[in-house]
Chain A
Amino acid sequence: MESHSVTLDVRRLVGRFSLRSTSHVGRVSYLLLEMARAVPEWRIWMPRMFEQASNVGYGSLFIVGLTAGFAGAVTSLQAGYQFTGSIPVYFAAGVIVESIILELGPVLTALVLAGRIGARYAAELGTMRVTEQIDALESLGRSSVSHLVLPRVIAGTLMLPVLVVFADLVGIGAGWVAAKGSLEMTNADFTYGAQYFFKTWDLWYSMIKAFAFGLAITIVPCYMGFSTQQGAEGVGRSTTAAVVSASVLILFLDAALAKVLLKT
């Protein structure tokens, strides 16, 4: 009897999970379709996009720079710890630069922005949903997607690659300084090592990742914010769900893009 009810519970759980997942996929697809339809309405989304881009870009410089700087310095110190004995010191420079360009720059920047921008987008749109501001916009015959979603998605997606380039530069700079201090590496060693392992494709790979992460940290929170229900508690739930989902998606995309683009 007991095992029978446990089986039923598992079935119910699986059923509920499948229904909810299918519903999310359907609604996200519908939002994407609405975004595509809103693209020609550039006179509405373009000015708002610049406003959002300034907030995402300029407003995130400090936290992105701080994160990348520490990541670069720590990578350098750990490389110094690992690269001992007969390994040439310029190898460490290659590891520092490649780690930052290929992985740390894009992933850390995206995770930081998932918290900063993702939470903000979900909370803003969620509050607008529960206070009927989104309904008010639509009741005036205006598209909430072109006024609210598209400017945020485009701004975030365009600004993330720019911030990743900034993070790469700060990270490499901090790594360089730390390498000079702890590994007694000369500038010539660092530039030689960095160039020895560097390929132009690495930069493209970093930008493709940044672009994909940009879509993840904007579309997911906008969707979560738009789907908010039940007042302040709902806004809190949407914000948490947006940050967690966007972060998980970043990690999945990171693994998938590494497999597909690096052909490993």
Chain B
Amino acid sequence: MIELKHISKRFGDLVVLDGVDFEVRQGETVALLGPSGVGKSVLLKHINGLIHPDAGEVWVDRMKVGALKRKELSRLRSRIGYVFQNGALFDSLTVFDNIQLGITDEAASEDEVYCRDRVRQCLDHVNLPPETAHKYPAELSGGMRKRVGIARAIAGQPTYLLWDEPTSGLDPVNADIIDSLVEKLDDELGVTSVVVTHDVRGAFRVADRIALLRDGRIRAMGTPAELRASTDPAVQQFLERDLTIPVAH
């Protein structure tokens, strides 16, 4: 379970998060919606301690992230897969080495046979052929890089997956493929997911619950049906832009 309690964060004079309360229950997929630049990715990075809050507390599995020692934080992070917006692949390493770095169990990462099998499995999960393993990130398209990023995030068999704008910058066909992947992986791997996105349609497709971040706070949170029925003008204004066609969940 992930709990963010009264999180505040500012960069210089800019207040990004202003007392955010946010909770993700075990096994569910929560989409965090909001316009670009509102602080969604900043909020996501609080969960695995990549960013520390100025005020407030982050709890994951009843552990206070800010109070963890170096090794404890490292252990926690190894159970949280993080899919970065632009893949964040290590460009000097092949796809194989990138995914192998995602195998966070020390003993497993030194077992060559296990690593080879696991990399192949992960590539298969994200619908990439095994030959991709020998390529460098620069040789891949944007959509393929995102999928390799996903393969790296799931290589360590995490219990949580944090998705940072998984469909941004992709054409509608590739965005659809990634949305299907999010659904498929959440079902197959049984992970708890937080999906940060500004793609309303994608959020309604993959999420059990949706939260809308606006003006540094969670403006609304609920199931897709609850959000669609919301009378809050800010929520309606945001949803109307993309939900002109009803989407079945």
* Cα A140 to Cα B101 with chains together (Å): 8
Interface size class of A (residues with CB under 8 A): 10 to 19
Contact of B45 among A131, A135, A140, A143 (CB under 8 A): A135
Contact of B88 among A37, A133, A143 (CB under 8 A): A133
* Cα A83 to Cα B187 with chains together (Å): 85
Q: Mark A103-134, 1 if CB is under 8 A from B, else 0.
A: 00000000000000000000000001001110
Contact of B70 among A37, A136, A137 (CB under 8 A): A37
B88 → chain A closest CB, angstroms:
4
Interface size class of B (residues with CB under 8 A): 20 to 34
A139 and B82 contacting across the interface, CB-CB below 8 Å? yes
* Cα A107 to Cα B243 with chains together (Å): 66
- Among A133, A141, A142, A143, residue most surrounded by chain B Cβ atoms (within 10 Å): A141
A224 → chain B closest CB, angstroms:
19
A138 and B77 contacting across the interface, CB-CB below 8 Å? yes
**CB-nearest residue of chain B to A135:** B50
Contact of A135 among B75, B80, B84, B152 (CB under 8 A): B84
* Cα A141 to Cα B79 with chains together (Å): 9
* Cα A235 to Cα B32 with chains together (Å): 31
* Cα A184 to Cα B48 with chains together (Å): 71
B90 and A133 contacting across the interface, CB-CB below 8 Å? yes
Instruction: Give the tally of cross-chain contacts (CB within 8 A).
Output: 54
Give the chain B neighbours of A131 by CB distance below 8 A: 86, 88, 91
A140 and B104 contacting across the interface, CB-CB below 8 Å? yes
Contact of A140 among B85, B86, B91, B156 (CB under 8 A): B156
A243 → chain B closest CB, angstroms:
22
The yes or no answer to B192 lying at the interface (CB within 8 A) is no
The yes or no answer to B74 lying at the interface (CB within 8 A) is yes
The yes or no answer to B102 lying at the interface (CB within 8 A) is yes
A202 → chain B closest CB, angstroms:
41
A138 and B101 contacting across the interface, CB-CB below 8 Å? no
Which secondary structure characterizes the binding site on chain A? Answer: helix
B49 → chain A closest CB, angstroms:
8
A136 and B75 contacting across the interface, CB-CB below 8 Å? no
A187 → chain B closest CB, angstroms:
49
Contact of B77 among A37, A128, A132, A140 (CB under 8 A): A140
Contact of A142 among B48, B84, B89, B101 (CB under 8 A): B101
Give the chain B neighbours of A37 by CB distance below 8 A: 70
**B contact residues vs A (CB 8 Å cutoff):** 45, 48, 50, 70, 73-78, 80, 82, 84-86, 88-91, 101-102, 104, 152, 156
Nearest 5 Cβ contacts at the A-B interface: A141-B78, A132-B88, A136-B88, A141-B77, A139-B82
**A contact residues vs B (CB 8 Å cutoff):** 37, 128, 131-133, 135-143
Can you list 15 A-B pairs, Cβ within 8 angstroms, ordered by A?
A131-B86, A132-B84, A132-B86, A135-B84, A136-B82, A136-B89, A136-B90, A136-B152, A138-B50, A139-B48, A140-B102, A140-B104, A140-B152, A141-B74, A141-B77
Known: A37-B70, A141-B75, A141-B156. 20 other contacts (CB 8 A): A128-B90, A132-B86, A132-B88, A133-B90, A135-B50, A135-B82, A136-B84, A136-B89, A136-B90, A137-B101, A139-B48, A139-B77, A139-B84, A140-B78, A140-B101, A140-B152, A141-B76, A141-B77, A141-B78, A143-B70
